[in-house]
Structure formats: C-alpha cells, structure tokens
Amino acid sequence: MIKVGALLAFLTGAVQLGLYLGGVKLHVADTRPAAGSTIVFAGLMFACATGMWMMRYWAVLGFMALMALLLLFFSFALIKASSVLGFAIAITGVCITGFLFFKLVRVLSRLQLPQYPGR
C-alpha cells in the first residue's frame, strides 16, 4: 500500500505542476495561482513520494497528515454539498482518503523509527 501512496503523491505533484505550466486558471477568481505556492506544493509531493518509495518514516507520517487534512476538507464539502455531483465528489473523496489513511496506519506501524545517537 505504500507504493500506491507514493504513486499518488507523485501524480498529485506532477498534475499540479502540469496544470500550472499549462496555464489553467482558477474558477473562482479566473486568475492563475501563485507560482511559489504551486512549486512548493509540487516539490513537497515529490519529496514525499520519494521518501515513501524509500520506506522513510517521516514521509509516511507527513503523507498521512496530508490525508487527514484532505479527509477533513472532503467531510466539510460533504456538509455543504448542494447538488448530486457535489455529493458524489465529496463522498468519493472521503472514501478514498479515509481508506488510504487507514491502510497507511499499518504501514507506519511496521516501519522502524530512526535510532537516536547515543542509544
């Protein structure tokens, strides 16, 4: 399951960067997103994907934190859903992020914490 998470993190970063380079505008304000935040987010996703591929504890923990935030976001979107499409997107997001978070708990428990110097 950690490989699926790494692939998902890599694809998220690649799609985010690709959409920005493609010139896609935000629907809300009809403007382009800021370059700095887009590049930082894509870099964070690439670092997380690389760390999870190499089975690093910090990468799985960081990705799980992002999954928890996404789970909250989709849960709040589920509350505000005003159409069937909005409900379908929100419930799909809750199911996918919740399932991946649950599966990564087992992976995280099997990874070894780094050893502290002097112990």
Exposure on the CB side of residue 55, measured as CA atoms within 13 A: 8
Q: Quickly tell me which residue has 């809750």 as its tokens.
A: 94
Long-range contacts of 94-97 (CB under 8 A, 24+ apart): 97/67, 97/70, 97/71
Q: Is the pTM of this model over 0.85?
A: no
Alpha carbon distance 104, 109 (integer Å): 8
**DSSP string covering 107-119, please?**
HHHHSPPPPPTT-
For the chain, the domains span 2-110
96 CB-contact burial (10 Å; exposed 0-12 / middle 13-18 / buried 19+): middle
Instruction: Work out the average pLDDT over 82-108.
Output: 91
Q: Quickly tell me which residue has 């589920």 as its tokens.
A: 78
pLDDT digits (tens, 9 = 90+) for 4-40: 889 989 998 999 889 888 887 766 667 777 888 888 8
| % of the chain at pLDDT higher than 70 | 91
